[in-house]
Structure 1
């Protein structure tokens, strides 16, 4: 059985240790990334929704980078939304800049009632390149 190899983005490990989880777990050539939110450096939510979504993607990219992967290595995406209907346009605007060219990853969007003060969260599974 493969070992769990935790991955943390530079400068944010203390936030994960405080909440007792890993930013991501590497298992062989797969990377399972925990839900990333639009948190500022101190862990507080970005109040502007569009900026919160962009920051969540930025935080996701930092985790992928720490594991030697990129946004292009993502194969599966799950997003969580506190108000999907009202937020869809803003999320798609950011998503379309991040995943501009096919092939696109799988995507599942889930409406939720609570995200600990946040309004958007993204978790992914990525394949780590052999060179990483």
Structure 2
């Protein structure tokens, strides 16, 4: 059995403790990142949608960095949207800022009706580079 190791960013938000989950699990050279949302340090949602999406990516970036990897190491991306049709343009704008050029990660977007008070969530699988 490959050992699993929990990964948390340095400035972890309150949601991990409140809901009892890890930011990410390292298994071998793979990192499985839990859904990241645009939460402030106290776990509350950022009310402005564009800022919430940016903050979700910031939280994702901090979790990736804590494991020694970054956005270029992503293998699989899944995002969850409470109103995909209305949110698409904003998400695409932020996505372009985070991934300005090819190669782009593969991506699956899913419309949902509930994200515990949030409107956007992103979860990923990354390959951790060899040191």
Q: Secondary structure at the match of 2:87?
A: helix
User: 1:49 corresponds to which residue?
Assistant: 49
User: 1:111 corresponds to which residue?
Assistant: 111
Unmatched 5+ stretches in structure 1? none
- Distance in 2, matches of 1:54 and 1:14, equals 18
Q: Secondary structure at the match of 2:75?
A: strand
Q: Secondary structure at the match of 1:110?
A: strand
- Distance in 1, matches of 2:66 and 2:15, equals 16
TM-score (norm 1): 0.96
- Distance in 2, matches of 1:121 and 1:14, equals 16
Alpha-carbon distance, 1:14 to partner: 5.1
Q: In 1, are the aligned partners of 2:37 and 2:53 still within 8 Å (CA)?
A: yes
Moved over 6 A (4+): none
- Distance in 2, matches of 1:51 and 1:64, equals 20
User: 2:31 corresponds to which residue?
Assistant: 31
Q: Secondary structure at the match of 1:115?
A: coil
User: 2:86 corresponds to which residue?
Assistant: 86
TM-score (norm 2): 0.97
- Distance in 2, matches of 1:47 and 1:100, equals 26
- Distance in 2, matches of 1:24 and 1:58, equals 15
Alpha-carbon distance, 1:15 to partner: 3.5
CA deviation profile, 1:17-46 (whole Å, cap 9, x unmatched): 221110000000000000000001111000
Unmatched 5+ stretches in structure 2? none
Q: In 1, are the aligned partners of 2:13 and 2:43 still within 8 Å (CA)?
A: no
- Distance in 2, matches of 1:48 and 1:13, equals 18
User: 2:19 corresponds to which residue?
Assistant: 19
Alpha-carbon distance, 1:100 to partner: 1.1
Q: Aligned pair count? A: 131
